[in-house]
Structure 1
Amino acid sequence: MNKVIISCAVTGALHTPSMSEHLPLTPDQIAAQAIEAAEAGAAILHLHARDPIDGRPTADPAVFSAFVPRIAEQTDAVINITTGGSTSMTLQDRLAYPLLAKPEMCSLNMGSMNFSIHPVARKIKQWRFEWERPYVEGTEDIIFRNTFRDIGHILRELGEGCGTRFEFECYDLGHLYNLAHFVDEGLVKPPLFIQSIYGVLGGMGPDPENLTIMRTTADRLFGRQNYRFSILGAGRHQLPLVTLGAILGGNVRVGLEDSLYLGRGQLATSNAEQVRKIRRILEELSLDVATPDEAREMLGLKGRGRTAF
């Protein structure tokens, strides 16, 4: 079996400061947690930016520039910059920093979708910042937009223009077919890195059977030799699903973007805690963990030297 790539999504744009005191918000916190996660075994660091004053999601290149170069200086991990940002950002906002940085990898959501965490608002009794409650409740009535034209634009500008490859985020079965369309159009070439995502309200549910459906469909559409499969389980589904995915021959993604917990009722105090836990599970399953350079080779990445960090 191939070595397993561990991705770590450090902060994201969905969780808010009131949900966990351990969620990194400032450039210093994001850099420190990302570096620690890489030291723990994460080969890929998936990065969003936060307003350092109140923790709201931001696409400001100046904020990204306050922590991404520091991570690049202190780790050899693959730096993966979001093109998803948040539901409130325009496509131009979302591409502002990636087009400047020309990273080895960016995430790419493979379709427009409902993307909601509004039920979480009922559980929070006290909010740290005024923006949080309307932001969380507002996800009930917001669509994340990535049309075929949007996706094509990203593939041309970042992929063809900058040599960036992608973590194709597939929240539903149809997203695999969307990806196949762009393969047919010649805008995407193997090896593909397919991040299959389970448990987000608006996307595919966390049923274990869905992993098999996604895996066999990807086999049929792309041929197993042409893609690397990875698993993201949202919230409490994180560890069970990524463990199952690894057993099925996939790679894994953890991090505080995807789940704030280390175990039942136990908040993770850092991203590195989650990385260390899944690494231990993988090693106990006799699976080897990929280094950053091994991940680069597996995914056909251009290398750190061709970025603009």
Structure 2
Amino acid sequence: MSSPGRKVIISCAVTGATHVPTMSEYLPLTPAQIRDQAIEAAEAGAAIIHLHARDPADGRPTPSPDVFRQFVPAIAEATDAVINITTGGSTRMTLAERLAYPLQAAPEMCSLNMGSMNFSIHPLAAKVSSWRYDWEKDYVEGMEDMIFRNTFKDIRHILLTLGGQGTRFEFECYDLGHLYNLAHFVDQGLVKPPFFIQSVFGILGGMGADPENMTLMRTTADRLFGRENYQFSVLGAGRHQMPLVTMSAILGGNVRVGLEDSVYIARGVKAESNAQQVRKIRRILEELSFEIATPAEARAMLGLKGRDKVSL
């Protein structure tokens, strides 16, 4: 259970690379939209802003450093939130493409998927009768035959290169085995506490969104690392978002929301912004007597190097 006086970190994943424009008219696509929604989410209480980039012409995911630079520095100038840059990109990007901007920016934090896996939302394609852009249908349906690759060698490379620049990681764990993958790198001395473990539930190819799975992930992480050595956090995909992240806080963890993870704010109601989701989970947490961590408190909890040591 949670301890009295503990601060809860709210992360916000602003746009991602999984949802396509047709799925929500509110999904930020252009650099200006990503910038504005990220700043608003930070103002609403998100201590960490998790960022992907999209081609401003049609909203498709892009690893282009030129596109990242159109919004990341502006977010950093407008808010003190921790900037967290993806190293996952999308299933269609090479490792070199996924690392192109993070290696230039050397941010305080990057996300890091802890293993190769099937990762798909292809069943959703059957629910769409008309697509906003012609690339979207093939992109979503094609996930059925795509694998997200992060081999042990890939992960080691990311830890050595970005970690060598002082970047720390949001370790995204989609399955129980990913915790053991993390433990492998801890044993090798490539990862040192405090770890930030982001348990992911509800993605086809990963763990189901069952409360029992969260308990299993939490207790397994305790055994592998010792609770004093890591911060636990949860994201729930789609309709599972708010119930699961609330449970995470009750179990002593932190929370992640954002339009990358769910385009809804309530059943059948689309979220009009990332900040709307941040405000909702903040209200829930505060009504449960939790305190929300500031960016400075999140930096201290996660052992981050500080904004002054990045090249955004």
What corresponds to 2:216 in structure 1?
213
Q: Give 1:29's aligned amino acid.
A: Q
Q: Give 1:4's aligned amino acid.
A: V
What corresponds to 2:188 in structure 1?
185
SS in structure 1 at match of 2:199: strand
* 1:210-247 CA-partner distances (Å, limit 9, x unpaired): 11000000000000000000000000000000011111
Question: Aligned partners of 2:31 and 2:129: how far apart in 1?
Answer: 27
What's the TM-score, normalizing by structure 1?
Answer: 0.99
Question: Aligned partners of 1:268 and 1:282: how far apart in 2?
Answer: 19
Shift of 1:22: 0.1
Q: Residue 266 of structure 1: which of 256, 269, 293 is its match?
A: 269
Q: Residue 113 of structure 1: which of 98, 113, 117 is its match?
A: 117
Q: Give 2:25's aligned amino acid.
A: E
Is there any run of 5+ residues in structure 2 with no aligned partner, and where? none
Question: Aligned partners of 2:189 and 2:20: how far apart in 1?
Answer: 39
What's the TM-score, normalizing by structure 2?
Answer: 0.98
Q: Residue 283 of structure 1: which of 275, 281, 286 is its match?
A: 286
What corresponds to 1:156 in structure 2?
160
Q: Give 2:240's aligned amino acid.
A: H
Taking every aligned residue pair, what percent have the same amino acid on both sides?
77
What corresponds to 1:222 in structure 2?
225
SS in structure 2 at match of 1:176: helix
* 1:253-309 CA-partner distances (Å, limit 9, x unpaired): 000000000000000000000000000000000000000000000000000000001
* 1:154-186 CA-partner distances (Å, limit 9, x unpaired): 0000002x1000000000000000000000000
Q: Residue 203 of structure 2: which of 174, 184, 200 is its match?
A: 200
What corresponds to 2:44 in structure 1?
40
The answer as to 2:63 corresponding to 1:59 is yes
Question: Aligned partners of 1:289 and 1:209: how far apart in 2?
Answer: 26
Q: Give 1:244's aligned amino acid.
A: M
Question: Aligned partners of 1:292 and 1:216: how far apart in 2?
Answer: 27
Shift of 1:125: 1.2
What corresponds to 1:30 in structure 2?
34
Question: Aligned partners of 1:124 and 1:76: how far apart in 2?
Answer: 39
Q: Residue 124 of structure 1: which of 100, 112, 128 is its match?
A: 128
Q: How does 1:94-113 map to 2 (within 5 A)?
A: 94-113=98-117
RMSD over equivalenced CA pairs, Å:
0.3
Q: How does 1:220-259 map to 2 (within 5 A)?
A: 220-259=223-262
Q: How does 1:64-75 map to 2 (within 5 A)?
A: 64-75=68-79
Q: Which runs of 4+ in 1 moved over 6 A?
A: none
What corresponds to 2:83 in structure 1?
79
Q: Give 2:233's aligned amino acid.
A: S
Question: Aligned partners of 1:120 and 1:297: how far apart in 2?
Answer: 40
SS in structure 2 at match of 1:238: helix
Question: Aligned partners of 2:75 and 2:128: how far apart in 1?
Answer: 33
Q: Residue 297 of structure 1: which of 290, 296, 300 is its match?
A: 300
What corresponds to 2:14 in structure 1?
10
What corresponds to 1:140 in structure 2?
144
Q: Give 1:71's aligned amino acid.
A: I
SS in structure 2 at match of 1:79: strand
Q: Give 1:285's aligned amino acid.
A: L
SS in structure 1 at match of 2:298: helix
Is there any run of 5+ residues in structure 1 with no aligned partner, and where? none
Q: Give 2:110's aligned amino acid.
A: C
Question: Aligned partners of 1:308 and 1:244: how far apart in 2?
Answer: 36
